[in-house]
Structure 1
Amino acid sequence: MSPMFKQWMAVAIAACGMFLLPSAHAEKKLTSVGMTVGVLGNPFFSSLAKGATDEARKLGGPDVKVTVLAHNWDVSKQVSQIENFIASKVDMIVLDPADPKALTPVLAKARAAGITVVALDDASEGVQYTIMADSVAAGRNSCEYLAKEIGNKGNVILVSGPPVTTVFDRINGCKEALAKHPDIKILSDDQDAKGTREGALQVTQDLLTRFPKVDAIYNINDQCAIGSLLAVKQARRTGIILTSVDGSPEAVSEIKKPHSIFVASSAQDPNEMGRNAVEVGFGIMNGKAPAQTLVLMPTPVITKENASTYVGWKPL
């Protein structure tokens, strides 16, 4: 990551679980972690899992059992996964919630069983700690750049995603940025592409058919942006630019191409997010409450101008 991003990260992480209250108890050993996240086919979630797994083994040794499951935005599936973690008596549950409210009963059950529960990437009721990107800022940053690139005027499509807080915030942040420019018209902002490139390909194809004049497309993540990029190419449409959120290796590689229409992505650091969630969760296990229970990570925009200085995500 860039030096500036590292500085922002240091401030964000210092504000969260690094200032832990002392515990008078002997340290508990970390032996097992259950993790449930969105879609493991998405490199973002794979990187979350890698960071969490690496930190768990750093804290508990190579024999720590880390079970990582994908809920694929199915709430009932995630509830079942958490129930199984409870039955297995894991020490800690790390989750990216499929629904911030529907999980409350099962998370209460987990905590009643003495299991530490932490969230990442999105907030959820009933957890003891959450680390996530500042998704409003991510959407705002991405769409401020988008607006500048189209001269603060034109027709824009917002490709949305699953009905979770992170997605709502990214859409609202984008709309906040675009609202400053009365000559920008939002053609669509409510089509759920499921957070996948396949979903975005279909949604974008439909919207390009529906709207003959489009100047820019904002996507809620890089996987969707790659799908939208393919749809634009297949439709042989010109004069369209794309921005998104994640700062993934694939997106940055595309942004670096001189003539690519993919021009910017607000960056996240999923590996650090996963690592920090387990680190702070381990502190909570041992009676050390974090100074803040919600930490928002920075989301600087990666563009063609600065992509060469952006180190990006750690390899899987």
Structure 2
Amino acid sequence: MNHTPRIRRALAVTAGLGLTLSLAACAEERAEDGGVLVGLITKTETNPFFVKMREGAQAAAEEHGVTLQTYAGDYDGDNEGQVQAVENLMAAGAAGILITPNDSAAIVPVLEQARASGIMVIALDTPVDPADAVDATFATDNFLAGELIGRWAAAHFEELDEEPRVAMLDLNPNQIAVDVARDQGFLQGLGVDIADPGVIGDEDDPRVVGHEVTEGAEEGGRTAMENLLQRDPDLNLVYTINEPAAAGAYEALKAAGVEEDVVIVSVDGGCPGVRNVGDGVIGATSMQFPLDMAALGVSAVAAHAADGTVPEASEGLDFIDTGVELITDLPKDGLESRDGAWGLDHCWG
């Protein structure tokens, strides 16, 4: 799978089962005067990634004169809560639903019901399975995001004239598509042969120390790093699924007194993570743009409500690519990147 770095494109364009409902535009269940109602369903309420999504969706809703209702579960993995949210939006007469699915396959039946009732359904960030169970997907090219930090790490260790020994800090045992794509992209960028491109953790390569799951959280990253350090105290490279996990990994490395000897690479591009690039905690990260994902999703629903338009996937992909940028203060020859100062000006869109 060959990718080339691409510049982020400027695309113009409740309650129930532990759910928290926040009304971003008004307190009514239906849009005022029969207007267009758009629902945004994220995995959690407080994760900064999804906070940024809500910001993008709200700005686009105001721009297009539509009503936005946002829902979020209490924890990552709350499929039942997302099902309830979809049903609530169907009952409210929504014109479109934007969702970051907690379970890419289990959410599909209720999304199919929504589409059958005439609602446009768009996945954000995380694809559904099968991908064509929604009208469109706006997402990061997660394979490319992983590949960029893998290529950066390969070049960095070539400069050091050292063989990387990498600890892999993944998301969770479910191995969702995002987790697999980032993991496999990183390994390919690093130059590790992948025995099964659809599975995490089956590499037969001495450079891979092992895999641990983090749930994408700082505490999980700390515990996973502690476990992998026990397995191989001489590891020198850490891949993390996201920047909160990277922050936890760094704390474990610091507690062990080896933080200066280990390089961390990650994916996200949030402002705290970019600051960690500037502080030398993270060597390189791949920035994604959740604000754009949600804004483009709302714009797509507004266009569909007006004239039936459905956005087309990016060339060679089964989703609309919202862009990725490599952020590092240690650039490598032949690998396009942005520095931390640029990253702070653009973090998450």
Match of 1:59 among 52, 57, 64: 64
Partner of 2:246: 225
> Which residue is 2:170 aligned to?
160
Tell me the CA shift for residue 289 of structure 1: 2.1
Match of 1:41 in 2: 46
Percent of aligned positions that are identical: 26
Amino acid at match of 1:60: G
In the alignment, does 2:346 pair up with 1:312?
Answer: yes
**Aligned-partner residue type, residue 228 of structure 1:** A
State how 1:1-316 maps to structure 2 within 5 Å.
Answer: 8-10=8-10, 13=11, 30-60=35-65, 64-70=67-73, 72-124=76-128, 125=130, 126-151=133-158, 153-162=163-172, 163-179=175-191, 185-189=207-211, 191-238=212-259, 239-257=261-279, 260-286=280-306, 287-292=308-313, 294-305=319-330, 306-310=339-343, 311-313=345-347
Report the TM-score when normalising by structure 1: 0.84
Contact 2:153 2:265 in 1 (8 A): yes
Number of aligned residue pairs: give it. 292
Normalised to the residue count of structure 2, the TM-score between the two structures is 0.77
CA 1:39–1:204 in 2, change beyond 3 Å: closer, same or farther?
farther
CA distance in 1, matches of 2:100, 2:294: 10
Question: How far apart are the structure 2 equivalents of 1:114 and 1:213?
Answer: 57
For the residues of structure 1 that align with 2:134 and 2:325, how far apart are their CA atoms? 27
Do the aligned residues in 2 keep the contact of 1:154 with 1:184 (CA within 8 Å)? Answer: no
- The answer for the alignment partner of 1:24 in structure 2 is none
Task: Give how far 1:215 is off.
Answer: 0.3
- What is the SS of the residue equivalent to 1:150? helix
Preserved CA contact (<8 Å) 1:221 1:245: yes
Distance 1:261 1:80 in 2: 40
1:298 Cα deviation from its structure 2 partner:
2.6
Change (3 A) 1:243 1:128: same
- Aligned residue for 2:186, secondary structure, equals helix
Q: What's the offset of the Cα at 1:154? A: 2.3
Deviation at 1:117, TM superposition (A): 0.8
- Which has the larger displacement, 150-159 or 237-246? 150-159
Cα pair distance change 1:6/1:180, threshold 3 Å: closer
Deviation at 1:159, TM superposition (A): 0.7
Amino acid at match of 2:106: A
Name which of structure 1's ranges 300-309 and 128-137 shifts more when overlaid on structure 2.
300-309
Question: Aligned to 2:346, what secondary structure does the other structure show?
Answer: coil
How far residue 134 of structure 1 moved from its aligned partner, in angstroms, is 0.6
Tell me by how many angstroms 1:183 deviates.
8.7
Where 1:154 maps in the other structure, the secondary structure is: coil
Alignment partner of 1:194: what SS?
coil
Q: Following TM superposition, where does structure 1 have runs of at least 4 consecutive aligned residues deviating by more than 3 angstroms? A: 5-8, 28-31, 180-184
Does the 8 Å contact 2:268/2:287 carry over to 1? yes
Quote the Cα distance in structure 2 between the aligned partners of 1:30 and 1:246. Answer: 35
Compute the displacement of 1:74 (Å).
2.4
Structure 2 stretches of 5 or more lacking a match?
14-32, 194-203, 331-338
C-alpha distance after superposition, 1:135-159 (max 9, x if no partner) = 0000010111122223361210111
How far, CA to CA, are the matches of 1:139 and 1:85 in structure 2?
35
Distance 2:249 2:134 in 1: 35
Question: In the TM superposition, what whole-angstrom CA distance separates every residue of 1:294-315 from its partner, at most 9, and x where no partner exists?
Answer: 2123322100142123322368
Contact 1:156 1:217 in 2 (8 A): yes
**Per-residue displacement from partner, 1:107-163 (whole Å, max 9, x unpaired)?**
011112222211110211421111100100000101111222233612101111143
- Once the 2 structures are TM-superposed, how far is the Cα of residue 106 of structure 1 from its aligned partner? 0.4
Q: Deviations over 1:153-188 (max 9, x none)?
A: 121011111432111100010111123599970111
From the superposition, tell whether residues 30 and 53 of structure 1 become closer, same or farther in structure 2 (CA, over 3 Å): farther
Secondary structure of 1:68's counterpart equals strand
Rounded Cα–Cα distance in structure 2 between residues aligned with 1:174 and 1:208: 20
**Residue aligning to 1:21:** none
Shift of the 314–174 alpha-carbon distance from structure 1 to 2, 3 Å rule, reads: closer
